[in-house]
Amino acid sequence: MTASASRRFTFIIGSARTQGNTETLARAAAAALPANLEQRWLHLADLPLDPFVDIRHESGVYPPPEGHAAVLAEATLWPTDLVIVSPVYWYSLSASAKQYLDHWSGWMRVPGLDLRERMAGKRLWGVTVTSDVDVDDEVSAPLVGTLRLTASYLKMEWRGMLLGHGNRPGDIASDAAALERAKSFFD
């Protein structure tokens, strides 16, 4: 994708609080994008999903997504660039972000949705904030690995993780290095 105007971004926010540190960092990175790029921002808390039920060994065919799942499936397939915005919770994705990814297993098996084929070639990015500033970034490694392997499995282009540090609401404002990285993260 060479023409920046042809890029479209969906930001999937898997935080337990609105306007938390991770979302703030993602918005700082998005602010550096050209103004003509379309962006969609979806909070998983506003679009709760039912628990994922694995039926692939029963019928192998999943029904088309409905309700919030349909909104999220469409928003997943729409962009050229998909950004998973999730704080580090217990060394991995938030529960809502993980559940969202679990639903991809079903969406891959919905006749006519063609999720696997349509995800190939898209760019996958991650934005996260960890609360522990006194340790190395190893605490975010499981989250990064999940997204990197997801991209690989679906033949997406893994574009990396924007990592910041902050514990209490608003702490990301003190992470000057992360905010500086945000300015060129989506280049």
Question: Which is more confident, 98 or 17?
Answer: 98
Beta strands, E only, the chain = 8-13, 38-43, 81-85, 123-130, 157-165
Say yes or no to pLDDT of 143 above 90: yes
- Does 187 reside within a domain? no
What pLDDT is attached to residue 106?
96
Q: Look over the chain and give the mean of its residue pLDDT values, rounded to a whole number.
A: 94
* CB-CB contact of 40 with 79 (8 Å): yes
Q: And the tokens for 145?
A: 């690995």
**Least confident residue range of 13-22, 28-37, 54-63, 126-135:** 126-135
- Does 129 reside within a domain? yes
Binned at pLDDT 50, 70 and 90, residue 28 comes out as very high
What pLDDT is attached to residue 134?
61
Q: pTM, whole model, 2 decimals?
A: 0.94
Question: Which is more confident, 16 or 73?
Answer: 73
- Does 148 reside within a domain? yes
Task: Provide the percentage of residues in the chain whose pLDDT is more than 70.
Answer: 95
The total of structural domains in the chain comes to 1
CA 146 remoteness from chain centre: 11
Which structural domain, as residue segments, surrounds residue 144? Answer: 4-182
- Does 52 reside within a domain? yes
- Does 32 reside within a domain? yes
- Tokens 């924007």 identify what position? 162
Say yes or no to pLDDT of 119 above 70: yes
* CB-CB contact of 84 with 10 (8 Å): no
* CB-CB contact of 49 with 99 (8 Å): yes
What pLDDT is attached to residue 1?
42
Listed residue (25, 165, 41, 16) closest to 99, CA to CA: 16
Q: And the tokens for 97?
A: 């972000």
- Does 153 reside within a domain? yes
- Does 146 reside within a domain? yes
Binned at pLDDT 50, 70 and 90, residue 2 comes out as very low
The CATH number given to whatever domain includes residue 163 is 3.40.50.360
Binned at pLDDT 50, 70 and 90, residue 135 comes out as low
- Does 113 reside within a domain? yes
Say yes or no to pLDDT of 181 above 80: yes
